[in-house]
Structure 1
Amino acid sequence: MSSDNMSPVNPLPPVVTALFLVIIGIEAVLQLGARGILGGADAVGWRLEAVQRYAFSGEIFDWMVANGRWPAEHVIRLLSYALIHVSFTQALFAGVMVLALGKMVGEVFSQLAVLAVFVLSAVTGALAYGLLVDSRVPLIGAFPGAYGLIGAFTYLLWLRLGQLGETQTRAFSLIGFLMGIQLVFGLLFGSQPDWVADIGGFVSGFTLSVFVIPGGWRRMRDRLRHR
């Protein structure tokens, strides 16, 4: 293909587009059901039913840990919660974050790596919520997975700043800004414990990036040999 036919804008990685479409698609179905356009009268309660069946519950998680039993219909909650949202606004905001950050991370990572970061960060966020938070409020929303992509982006920026000989702590400006906003909103409107899941997702995304970035395993092996 000649350079004349090349687009000046890199296309979205298909896996990122797919994640966005799944998030918005599920929300669209719930919205149509709530308005009686889809599914008839029973569809009005689809969102509540989805929360009851697929949201991550700290109480259910504690029960599984205490009894050593891990039913599939409850284990799936570690990930399925990330596809359910409180409202269209929340789903759209989370979807846009996934699009923007997934595009930037996907320009360096493979599609499988981008998906792994999102999925494992969502799972880690749920585990952090279940282990560190004592709350009956269920966890829903794609934000822990999106924060995992923020962690991956932060790692890429951290590497770039190191190559340029600049202060690498600047790479954490974005997560610091977002946490600052959450703190302000918490002080003004009351704090929600789901920020613990967001931080868990961020740490997971940053850590995973060390290994899934192209050449990551080789780089880690060389460091261990030098030690």
Structure 2
Amino acid sequence: MEQYESPVNAIPPAAIAMALLIIGVEIVFSAAGAGFVGGAEGIGWRLSALQEYAYSPLVWDAIIERNEYSFDLLKRFVTYAFVNSSFLSSIFAAALTLALGKFVGEIFGNVPMLIVFFVSIIFGALVFGILLDGLRPLYGSFVPVYGLIGAYTYVIFVRLGSLGANQLQAFRLIGILLAIQLVFGLVFGGDQIWIAELAGFIAGFFASILAAPGGWTAFVKRMRRPR
């Protein structure tokens, strides 16, 4: 009898875990907002979570100016990425995490994929805090998604290089995404979260140099290879 492989089983466990974490948090918020859990207080759970777990430039200011390294501040460099603004946003981010995580995880492995994922989250927050001022909060799962796009871009960049093709073509996807953000910004008003997302992409791309099979040694060999 012919056997068929399950498409779910083909997805690396690390990608599944991150997507489930994003969805799991959202299920709690959505259920609370609909009144299924938490009672009257549950309606405000999402807002409370944003106040408790979101990141903002004020966090960076507190660390730099007052040398405050409390757990409440440091956790926000990671936790912000798992609190989304809506159910639709969470579903979209989880779906992209699965798709991109499958691609990256199959090539890099589970642990390297997680390294790319979390390095992107932290670096995105760092750049956001350094470049911006004020109360603008940073939250949502698209910063690590952009990190995975960075890893995807790195893989395509390397493949094009091995084929002797124009490696700039690897940046076509991020170019399209940034162009779409620019158009939306002009039409609906700018949203500075793109700074963290771009930083996440950059972090994902460069973290992939070490996370990819062969790591730094393989990267140096490729750079020294005659064109």
Q: Assess same fold via TM > 0.5.
A: yes
Q: Distance in 2 between matches of 1:8 and 1:136?
A: 46
Q: Deviations over 1:62-83 (max 9, x none)?
A: 1221011110111000000000
With over 3 angstroms needed to count, the CA separation of the structure-2 counterparts of 1:68 and 1:223, relative to structure 1, is: farther
Q: Which runs of 5+ in 2 are unaligned?
A: none
- Quick check: 1:57 aligned with 2:63? no
- Residue 218 of structure 1 and its aligned partner are, at CA, apart by 2.2
C-alpha distance 162-224 of structure 1, shift in aligned 2 (>3 A): closer
Q: State the Cα distance separating 1:225 from its structure 2 match.
A: 9.0
Q: TM-score, normalised by structure 1?
A: 0.93
Q: Write the mapping of 1:62-73 to structure 2, written as runs, cut at 5 A.
A: 62-73=61-72
Tell me the residue number matched to 2:143. 144
Kindly state the Cα deviation for residue 224 of structure 1 after the two structures are TM-superposed.
Answer: 9.0
Measured in 1, the distance between the counterparts of 2:149 and 2:223 equals 26
Cα distance in structure 2, aligned partners of 1:32 and 1:108: 36
State the partner residue of 2:5: 7
Correspondence for 1:113 = 112
SS of aligned partner of 1:7: coil
**CA distance in structure 2 between the partners assigned to 1:8 and 1:41 by the alignment:** 42
In 2, Cα distance between equivalents of 1:90 and 1:163: 37
1:76 aligns with 2:86: no
Give 1:7 shift. 2.6
Paired residue total: 224
Q: Percent identity?
A: 43
Q: Which runs of 4+ in 1 moved over 2 A?
A: 4-10, 220-226
Deviation at residue 223 of structure 1 after TM alignment: 7.0
Structure 1, residues 64-103: CA drift from partner, whole Å, max 9, x if none? 2101111011100000000001111111111111111111
Please say which of residues 143-152 and 128-137 is displaced more in the overlay: 128-137
CA distance in 1, matches of 2:103, 2:224: 31
TM-superposed CA distance for 1:221, in Å, is 5.5
Normalised by the length of structure 2, the TM-score is 0.93
- Once the two structures are superposed, the pairs formed by residues 68-107 of structure 1 within 5 Å of their partners are 68-107=67-106
Q: CA deviation at 1:8?
A: 8.4
